[in-house]
Amino acid sequence: MEAVWDGEFLRGLRRLVVSHCRMLIRIRRSARLLYIDARRSENHRSVELFSNDIDVEQEMMEREVVAALQREIRELPPTLRHVLILRDVQEWSMTAVAERLHIGARAAKSRVLRARLELRERMIARCSVKAHGTSASIRLRPEREAMNRSSRR
């Protein structure tokens, strides 16, 4: 009895393996393979391979923005630069910034706001100057442009 069971088990296992192998052969026949080293023929279109790696162009743009931000922060007036570095770069609390600079919390908040606005204006001016000769230029929102025009008069 035991020899029969072993024989039935082996036959069943063999059928399972053969069936699985046939299924794999069918899948491989129907799969369209792309051979990278093969030359393109006229009836094959080009295929673009995508990568999950970091885009080099994007990385360079980010480096340029960081460098421009660092330059513009260094060029801010000291009162604005110090409060901006403590609050936004080093991420201190507003009360800690006020204590460190020996000013009130409201004055610290006002300086942070002024520093951010000044930095924003400088970055927009820098980007506009760089992009002026190209087709891409950064524009302020219309209401902000109107405010800038009226404040210059």
Q: What is the pLDDT of residue 124?
A: 86
At 83-102, the pLDDT tens digits run 999 999 899 999 999 999 99
The 10s digit of each residue's pLDDT in 9-35 is 677 777 877 788 788 777 777 766 666
Residue 1: which pLDDT band, with cuts at 50, 70 and 90?
A: very low
- Residue 87 falls inside a structural domain: yes
The count of structural domains within the chain is 2
Range of the domain at 100: 63-132
Q: Which pairs from 67-73 meet CB under 8 Å and 24+ separation?
A: 68/123, 68/126, 69/119, 69/123, 72/119, 72/122, 72/123, 72/126, 73/119
Classify residue 53: in a domain, yes or no. no
Q: What is the pLDDT of residue 44?
A: 60
Note whether residue 152 is domain-resident.
no
- Asked if the structure places residue 151 within a domain, the reply is no
Q: Is residue 100 part of a domain?
A: yes
